Homo-oligomer: A and B are copies of this chain.
Amino acid sequence: MLSSAAVKIGLMGCGVVGSGVVKVILENGEHIAQRLGRPIVIKKVLELQPDRVIAAGLEASVVTDNYLELVNDPEIEIVVELMGGIEPARTFVLEALRQGKHVVTANKDLIALHGRELLETAQEKGRDFYFEASVGGGIPIISPLKQSLAANQVQEVMGIVNGTTNYILTKMAREGLPYQEVLQEAQSLGYAEADPTSDVEGYDAARKIAILASIAFGTRITFPDVYVEGITRISPLDLAYGKELGYALKLLAIAKEENGEIDVRVHPAFIPVNHPLASVNDVFNAVFVRGDFVGEVMHYGRGAGQRPTASAVVGDIMEVARNAQTGSSGRISCTCFEQKRVKPISEIMSRYYIRMMLKDRPGVLASIAGVFGNQEVSLASVLQKRTEGDMAELVFVTHQVQEGNLQDALKIIGGLSIVGSINNVVRVEGETD
C-alpha cells in the first residue's frame, strides 16, 4: 500500500558524505517527495561532533552518540551508514539489519570484506542492503549491473575507480613530471591524502573491483582475492614510451571471467589511446563493462566527492523507500549464486611492456629474445630507446602470454650479465593480440 507518511531515516556519521546527504535531502526535498510520493525526514544522526550536524542544517536535537537510539527507534525505516571503516560500522549495520532496518551505505571497505555476512543478514530479515555509492561515487553502476544489464553474461569489467591515482597519472603524462613531485602537489591540493597508501597502492580500487566482480560474475570476491600493484613505480619514461606506442597509462581495476574462473586484479596498465577508458582523465572515474549481448558499455562521471557520492546514497534511499512502500523489500538481494575459482596472478593471460637496460653490443638482443622464446613468451615489438654509457634502454612488448611464463623469463633475464636492470613491467590491456 502506498503511504504518504514521511520516510524516516537514521544517519550514522555526518562527515563529508553524511553532510552531503543532509544537503540533498534539504535542498531537493520537494523534488524527492514528488518522485517518491512521500518526503524523507532525517530523524536521528549518530555523530560524536554535534557541530557537524548543526553546520549541515539540522537541529541539535537529532544528534545522538548512541547507535542504539537509531537501530531501536521503531519509526526509523532506513539506517544510512556513512562512518566508513570496518568497526564499529560492521557491528552497527548488522544490528540495524537484525532490528529490521533497511541499510544504505557507501562503505566499500566493509562490503569488500564482509559483504556476504551483511547481504545474508539482510536476506534473512527480508530487508534491503544497498550500496551504489561504494563504487564510482555518483556514477550509476551497481544498479545497472543488477537490473538493466542483468540478462547478460558479463565477460569483463574494467574500471578507473580511483580519482587520486588517475589525477596523478594524468598529470605525470601531460607534464612529464615524476611521481613524487605530482603526489606532493596532489596532497597540497587536497586530491591525495596525507597518507596516500590506500589510493596509490591500489587498495581502494581493489575493494571496488571486489564489489563489482561479485555482482558481475555472481560469485563472492573479497578484497584479499584481488591481486594488487600500485602506481609508485611508474616513471615519466614509461608514460612517454607508452605514448609513442599508442598507449595511455591508467590504474585499472580489472575482472574477467574465462571458463568459469575469475581473473581479478588492480595494477597500472597501458590501454590503446582510442579505448574509451583512455580519455578518462583527472579525477574522473569510469567503469567499462563487456556483456555477451550488450557488447561494450561504459559509465563515466565523478567517482568521489561530497555531492556525487551523496547523489548515489539518496538514490538508494529512494529505491529502498519505494520497495518498503510497495512491500517489495529484498526484491534484489545477494546475487552470488556460485563459487568460482579466482586464478592466481601466475595463471592470467596478458600482454606486457618491459623496459630494461642492456649491454649495447651485438648478440645481446638475440640472447634476450632467446630466453623469452624458451619460456613461450612471444614478442610483438622491440624498440631501442636511449643509450647510457655502454648500456642501451630497450622496450619489449609481448603478445598475449601467461604471466607465470613471463615471470620465469624475467627471473632468468635478470640474472644475465648483459642485463643492467629490468626497470619496469607494465601489463597491456584493452586490445587483442
Q: Which residues of A contact B (CB under 8 A)?
A: 20, 23-24, 27-28, 31-32, 34-35, 132, 138-140, 143-144, 147-153, 218, 276, 279, 291-302, 305, 307-308, 310-312, 314-319, 322-323, 325-328, 331-332, 335, 337
Contact = CB atoms under 8 A, between A and B. Distances in A.
Given A297-B300, A298-B301, A143 B148 contact: yes
11 contacts: A28-B151, A31-B153, A32-B151, A140-B147, A140-B148, A140-B299, A147-B315, A150-B315, A151-B317, A279-B279, A326-B326
A332 B326 CA distance: 10
Contact of A140 (B32, B138, B144, B315): B144
Contacts of A311: 149, 151-152, 291, 293-294
Contacts of A317: 151
B151 A318 contact: yes
A326 B331 CA distance: 7
A189 to B, nearest CB: 18
Given A148-B312, A315-B151, A335-B35, A138 B28 contact: no
A322 B148 CA distance: 12
A332 B328 CA distance: 13
Nearest to A30: B153
Contacts of A337: 34-35
Q: Classify the secondary structure of A's interface with B.
A: mixed
A399 B144 CA distance: 39
A25 to B, nearest CB: 8
B308 A293 contact: yes
Contact of A331 (B148, B153, B322): B322
A276 B277 CA distance: 11
A151 B331 contact: no
Contacts of A276: 279, 300
A279 B301 CA distance: 15
Given A34-B218, A144-B143, A301 B307 contact: no
Contacts of A331: 322-323, 325-326, 328
Nearest to A289: B301
Nearest to A331: B326
Contacts of A316: 148
A328 B328 CA distance: 6
B293 A150 contact: no
Contact of A293 (B24, B153, B300): B24
Given A148-B143, A151-B24, A294 B307 contact: yes
A297 B34 contact: no
Nearest to A151: B314
